[in-house]
Structure 1
Amino acid sequence: MITRADVEAAYAKTAGLVRHTPMVSSGEDLPFTLWFKCEFMQHTGSFKARGAFNRQLTAREDGELSETAGIVVASGGNAGLANAFAAARLGMPATVFVPETAPANKVAKLHAAGATVVQHGSEYAEAFTAAAEFAASNGAVLCHAYDQPGIVAGAGGVGLEVLAELPDVDTLLVAVGGGGLMGGIAAAVEGKARVVGVEPETVPTLHEALAAGRPMDVSVSGVAADSLGARRIGEIGFDVARRTGVQSVLVSDDDIIAARRRLWESHRIVVEHGAAAAYAALLSGAYRPADGETVAVVLCGANTDPSSL
């Protein structure tokens, strides 16, 4: 169970190690008020640094983290980059398992961050199994990409910052893959604002779980699969979503591509497809704000190839 208190504790613990990212007005003439939370400006280009630092600091405090074994994480790219960055700052080695389909730019960044990179399997779930086996045999601390209390609580700092700068916010639109960011934010703003989870039609982890009443495996494909490519929603994110009433909406690959291009052409914001999914909910009409509603779109990552815009 993750609560606002857990998020606040994580936020205090990671102070000075992660960036307080800006919020900017869209500047558009709309019947509702639109803000962008620019979390793509976080260290390593995504929100993942928040949970990575919180998980690793907690493990070190608990005596769980070995200076020789370090940490291991499975990731499509962003969680690996964040955990490698955090481990380097804390003086620990990092091993990152990525799917063989991971984008070349993210793999290159992992090497540049000093991580040992192992490519295994065709999707995140296979890389995670290999990482867990490595942790069991090597003694490294396993840092889950999205489904550990410290990871989720750390990610929730995004929600605290939105509330601090925009206390009258009504709705936060958040992209969902494994659900760590959504779960952390929903816990942070519980009782103060609603959270809408936005998912690709091709990877509807939260949507299917809400319909079934429990996390379910889904097939993984589409333009955002490198960052929103979890096979199922995490238990923690799902529990928070049910407790707080998170709504799920779906967007198509075409919607995501159009939203990413619009962010660049109209706002000069460069994000990856997974981050653009949250904005796609507005452009496609998957989420329609009421007149006068104050909406914050969380733009959660920028690890992309700008030449593809």
Structure 2
Amino acid sequence: MSTVVPTRARVEEVAAAIAPYVRRTPVLDVDVEGQLVTLKLELLQHAGSFKPRGAFASVLAAPETPARLVAASGGNHGLAVAYVGATLGIPAEVFVPATAPAVKVAGLRARGAHVHLVGTTYAEAYAASLEAAAAPGALALHAYDAPLTVTGQGTLARELEQQVADGAVGDRLDTVLVAVGGGGLAGGVAAWFAGTTTRVVAVEPVGCPTLHAALAAGEPVEVTPSGLGADSLGASRIGEIGFAALRDATSVLVTEDAIREARSWLWAQTRLATEPGGAAALAALRSGAYVPASDERVAVVVCGGNGDPAEL
């Protein structure tokens, strides 16, 4: 994989290319313990997460229309690839762990994807996908560690910056909190804000510390994903591109109880039904894992909504 971090100029180009196919998701200003916080509601994106941004970026840039799309996924990337395939008329083959939530597997099948349930981790599903990806005419779409994937996810940060600038409470954006799995989204966000005054706070569940462990080791290392949020944030190793983009990010860990509380708070206060990974970034604020200054202008990416509403 290339470790070249996307530039703002490249994110701009990709944003123009995918604009006809993705939603400009809304923002919502809320009070979190007396702090004004802007929520970026990416759970309202097509297929229920930010993932279509990177998937469309990769497919639209292909030199010719692929005969088939192939992906390995904990669920959300697969849903995005299935959505992209259905939108562009390209068959999709998706490999997911057998532990993937039933709601996500059902969503994949509803979108017409051919689903393979393999192993118990994303890494096992990815290994199983390689043979299908090597078939003539197939286009393999990596869930997080590919240049166009990371660049596509960076369009979310571009959009957020514009929305804050256009808001009624001032145009300053000091801090963005974003969840980390394999690092595609957080890496894209960090790439967009590189060289600006906006800092990125990377948030991970204690059971899925891919970035936290990599920063401690000085390089990407293997971890064993477990616990709440592992279905969407359960990469076993941070992507090379994401790690390169996030070297200077603030990294914090949140407990499962903090994620549950943030998820419940979002439902009670905003009627947003998130999946656990989608509430992880807010959990850092709600739990005190990240404590902003009193005048700090903070945004939180609510990145996914493909959970079971019955759990709320």
Query: Which 4+ residue blocks in structure 1 deviate beyond 3 angstroms?
Result: none
- CA distance in structure 2 between the partners assigned to 1:196 and 1:5 by the alignment: 23
Letter of the 2:258 partner, please give it: D
Match of 2:80 in 1: 82
The 3-state SS of whatever aligns with 2:12 is: helix
- CA distance in structure 1 between the partners assigned to 2:137 and 2:207 by the alignment: 36
Match of 1:121 in 2: 119
> TM-score when scaled to structure 2?
0.94
The 1:268/1:138 distance shift into structure 2, 3 A limit, reads same
The 3-state SS of whatever aligns with 2:39 is: strand
* Structure 2 counterpart of 1:48, from 25, 46, 51: 51
Match of 1:187 in 2: 191
Cα pair 1:163 1:189 within 8 Å, conserved = no
Return 5+ residue gaps in structure 2 as ranges: 166-171
- CA distance in structure 2 between the partners assigned to 1:3 and 1:66 by the alignment: 27
- CA distance in structure 1 between the partners assigned to 2:131 and 2:225 by the alignment: 23
Match of 1:272 in 2: 275
- CA distance in structure 1 between the partners assigned to 2:209 and 2:298 by the alignment: 22
- CA distance in structure 2 between the partners assigned to 1:200 and 1:133 by the alignment: 32
Cα pair 1:217 1:231 within 8 Å, conserved = yes
Matched, 1:71 2:69: yes
The 3-state SS of whatever aligns with 2:202 is: strand
Letter of the 1:185 partner, please give it: V
Displacement after TM superposition at 1:139 (Å): 4.1
- CA distance in structure 2 between the partners assigned to 1:272 and 1:97 by the alignment: 20
Letter of the 1:284 partner, please give it: S
Letter of the 1:282 partner, please give it: L
- CA distance in structure 2 between the partners assigned to 1:28 and 1:75 by the alignment: 33
- CA distance in structure 1 between the partners assigned to 2:255 and 2:31 by the alignment: 26
- Spell out the pairing of 1:195-214 with structure 2 (5 A cutoff): 195-214=200-219
Match of 2:252 in 1: 249
- Spell out the pairing of 1:91-110 with structure 2 (5 A cutoff): 91-110=89-108
Aligned-residue RMSD, C-alpha: 1.1
The 3-state SS of whatever aligns with 1:282 is: helix
Cα pair 1:26 1:34 within 8 Å, conserved = yes
Displacement after TM superposition at 1:138 (Å): 5.0
| Identity fraction in percent | 53
Cα pair 1:145 1:151 within 8 Å, conserved = yes
The 3-state SS of whatever aligns with 1:270 is: coil
- CA distance in structure 1 between the partners assigned to 2:19 and 2:44 by the alignment: 16
Cα pair 1:35 1:297 within 8 Å, conserved = yes
The 3-state SS of whatever aligns with 1:166 is: helix
Post-superposition Cα deviations, 1:8-29, rounded to whole Å, max 9, x if no partner, equal 1111110110000001101456
The 3-state SS of whatever aligns with 1:269 is: coil
Match of 1:23 in 2: 27
Matched, 1:296 2:299: yes
- CA distance in structure 1 between the partners assigned to 2:120 and 2:51 by the alignment: 22
- CA distance in structure 2 between the partners assigned to 1:207 and 1:138 by the alignment: 38
Match of 2:169 in 1: none
The 3-state SS of whatever aligns with 1:73 is: strand
> TM-score when scaled to structure 1?
0.95
Aligned residue pairs: how many? Answer: 301
Match of 2:234 in 1: 229
The 1:38/1:127 distance shift into structure 2, 3 A limit, reads same
Letter of the 2:291 partner, please give it: R
Letter of the 2:66 partner, please give it: S
